[in-house]
Amino acid sequence: MRPNRWSCVLLFCGWSSLVMAADGDPVVGSIGEIELRQSEVLASLGTMSAVDKEALARDPGSLNQLVRSLLVQRVVLQEALEKKWDEEPSIQPLLKSTREAAISDSYLKAVSRPPESYPSEGELKLAYENGRAALTVPRSFRLAQIFVAEEAGAEKKLKAVLQRLKEKPENFGQVAREMSEEKESASRDGEIGWLREQQIQPEILAQLPKLSVNMVSGPVRLKDGWHILKVLDVREAFTPIFEQVRVQLAQRMRAEKSRANVQSHVSELLQDRPVAVNEVALSKLLLEVPTQAVPAKP
């Protein structure tokens, strides 16, 4: 990926005070006196594949969040170092194990990373055709509801709700705001949002084919109470075209290839280096592990 493309992406992060340093390494974010430069962000992205970078370039908000996370990490690190936390005896084993894990993990990722040419356009299109059924997005409904909880006086309240809807069904949103007992959706005129068929309770899903857009259902009784539903919109099942899923499909294929490469590489390493565990020593080690005492019941 060309460097100037990443320079453009970084500009989309929303930092209005982008400052160009004398050495040409721009500041992409700051917090107090701490500055984060473009080279440091690129270093964090260095292990990413071209496909992952392309996905990130399509979502500047994710890059913005990365910069913010790195800045917060710097603030915490600065405070820890000022208090000499890295010199604490109890931290030394953690630093050692963290360093070893970082080296081994990064090395394993590097040697197992698929070539940048993978997957090819042909491999992508073949995977798309073979996986079309799995890519299909099921029918979805945009729903609103009025909820009456199962409690004392519920039937009286339900009757009052149904009477108001019978008189003015177009006032569904107002009735939801005033009378629905599910407060979050009530604040939005009862709107729940988009739900796929498999996300909807079977009892409610059974009612939806009977309703056209803007129609209101009768009360559907579930364990928690009664739900009166309104269909705001419907999306029929569809399969995304190749270009809509190309990047995500490539990411998934690279991840699967990388996992397979990791397993293959580790298997090769272990062929001539069999793992041996001293079970006797291990059982003694467990006796040395401190356990937290459980308070006796009164």
Inside any domain, residue 202: yes
Same domain? For 165 and 230 the reply is: yes
- Report pTM: 0.57
Same domain? For 113 and 255 the reply is: yes
pLDDT for residue 169:
87
Question: 20-34, 65-79, 111-125 — which one is most confidently predicted on average?
Answer: 111-125
More confident residue, 273 or 147: 147
Using pLDDT thresholds of 50, 70 and 90, give the confidence band for residue 47: low
pLDDT at 290 over 70: no
For the chain, the domain total comes to: 3
pLDDT for residue 165:
94
Same domain? For 121 and 146 the reply is: no
The mean of the pLDDT values for the chain is 85
More confident residue, 46 or 193: 193
pLDDT at 237 over 70: yes
Same domain? For 61 and 83 the reply is: yes
Same domain? For 76 and 99 the reply is: no
Same domain? For 74 and 109 the reply is: no
pLDDT at 212 over 80: yes
pLDDT for residue 272:
85
Q: At what angle do helices 121-130 and 242-271 cross, to 10 degrees?
A: 100
What's the rounded mean pLDDT across residues 183-206? 94
Inside any domain, residue 281: no
Amino acid at 135: L
Inside any domain, residue 73: yes
Same domain? For 79 and 226 the reply is: no
Same domain? For 114 and 254 the reply is: yes
Same domain? For 156 and 179 the reply is: yes
Q: Which residue has the tokens 């913010």?
A: 68
Inside any domain, residue 39: yes
Inside any domain, residue 130: yes
Same domain? For 120 and 175 the reply is: no
Contact partners, residue 18, CB within 8 Å, separation at least 6: 11, 26, 27, 28
Domain, as residue range, for 150: 137-235
